[in-house]
Amino acid sequence: MKRIRPWLVFLTLQLISIAAVWFFSTEVQRTGYLAWFGIEPDQLESLESDLLDIRGFPRYAARSEVDPIFQCKPKTRPINSVKQNGVYKWVDAKGKMHFSDRPPVGTETENLSRRYSSRLKYFTVDVRNRGGTLPAYMKDHLSSDTRQIFSILSQALNIKQLRQVDLQVHVFDNKGTFNQFKRQIAPSLGNNISGFYNPGHNLAAVMRQKSDESTFSTARHEAAHVIISGLFGYVPTWFTEGIAEYFEQMSISGQLKTIQPNQHWIKLLHSQHRKRQLMFLSEYFQYDRQSWRSKDQSTMYAMAWSLTYFLMSSKEGKNLLNRFMTELADEPCSSLDSAQFFARNYRGGLQRLDQDWKRWLVAGDHSSHRY
């Protein structure tokens, strides 16, 4: 019987230990391990490793943005600047109905262009599949989602100062291609993000995730940022993040749009309120973009979402948001002071708003919003 060499036993135990550490590590930790050996995530070629799974860490941590240069006049056009596009209806081989701006080759189509022609146009969206494995339905779904965001903003909130916003949504299925695009458009951003937006280019970029619904929700979040930036230019951070978080929870069934409350954010803020740790809105509104990002991001995102959802839950609140956006549109070159605005316009002032918002968090109606 041959004697087992000690160095072989030692090597085997080391390999088992390394495998165990890798198995129980998160994606972020694994990326760090690879970096030690000079291996970049975009060098991994398999589709399984390309698809992101952001369930292991907060969703806000998987998104980022390019801090915009102060823009007084967003890149928009008047709503009467209309270039008529075709609208075609067709059915694929599986019996699924599609709508597109060009008729597919070799497929019987119905031309609906005249029916949907208009002298006014409020929004254009260009969804670009940046990968060979992205399903065709993803583009249709994202186009529909982003159009509904604009529809709710323009109709439910009755925005009168509308401009025509162009939006590009880029969807990737390969980390290497996504990171290369990110380095070109947003070189300051780090790794391990699933989406970002750049208001200077009117675009949102999304990496496809293992769950299509996660991909759609991230795309809605980033698209909402671009729409708000296109309409108003520079806005308070709590407002653009609150609107983005709000529409992230949207689902569509036929003509019905439903926006669910974020139960995770409600529980977090409820817990802070119970422990008397929840900050006052007078403090929250003081933070500019840089200081906002330096605070606990769970709390900052949760407060942005909850204040938006609270105001969108009543006619009075919607009218107040409409007034807020009107002031943003009337003076896009000025930084609107949110604390002063609510002190002037909310019934009872800023202190009353703080009390009503916290009362809603604890015992208010958190039912879904339907449009």
Whether residue 68 has pLDDT greater than 50: no
Same domain, 249 and 307: yes
Cα angle, residue 174 at apex, residues 173 and 176 outer, rounded to 5°? 155
**Quick one: 205 and 255 in the same domain?**
no
Q: In terms of Cα–Cα distance, which of 51, 59, 57, 66 is closest to 178?
A: 51
Residues 204 and 244 in one domain: no
**351-366: pLDDT as tens digits:** 999 999 999 999 888 9
Residue 4 in domain: no
**Does residue 315 share a domain with residue 295?**
yes
DSSP 3-state of 327: helix
Based on the fold, state whether residues 225 and 300 are members of the same structural domain: no
Of 234, 263, 280, the residue that ends a domain is 234
CATH number of the domain bearing residue 180: 3.40.30.160
Residue 37 lies in a domain: no
Same domain, 193 and 260: no
Write out the two tokens for 307: 């204040």
Which of 234, 255, 275 corresponds to the end of one domain?
234
Q: Is residue 108 part of a domain?
A: no
**250 and 304 together in one domain:** yes
Residue 336 lies in a domain: yes
- Pick from 44-53, 165-174, 175-184, 211-220: least confident: 44-53
Q: Indicate the residue type of 96.
A: K
Whether residue 251 is found in the same domain as residue 348: yes
For residue 321, the enclosing domain spans: 236-371
Structural domain includes residue 20 = no
Lowest mean pLDDT among 113-117, 177-181, 186-190, 272-276: 113-117
Asked whether residue 251 falls in the same domain as residue 355, the answer is yes
| pLDDT for 356 | 97
Higher per-residue confidence, 236 vs 96 = 236
179 falls within a domain = yes
Based on the structure, what is the number of domains in the chain? 2
Selection from 236, 221, 202, 201 nearest residue 328 by Cα:
236
Which residues of 173-326 form beta strands (DSSP E)? 195-198, 203-207, 250-253, 256-259
164/285 same-domain check? no
How open is the CA angle 190-191-192, to the nearest 5 degrees?
Answer: 130
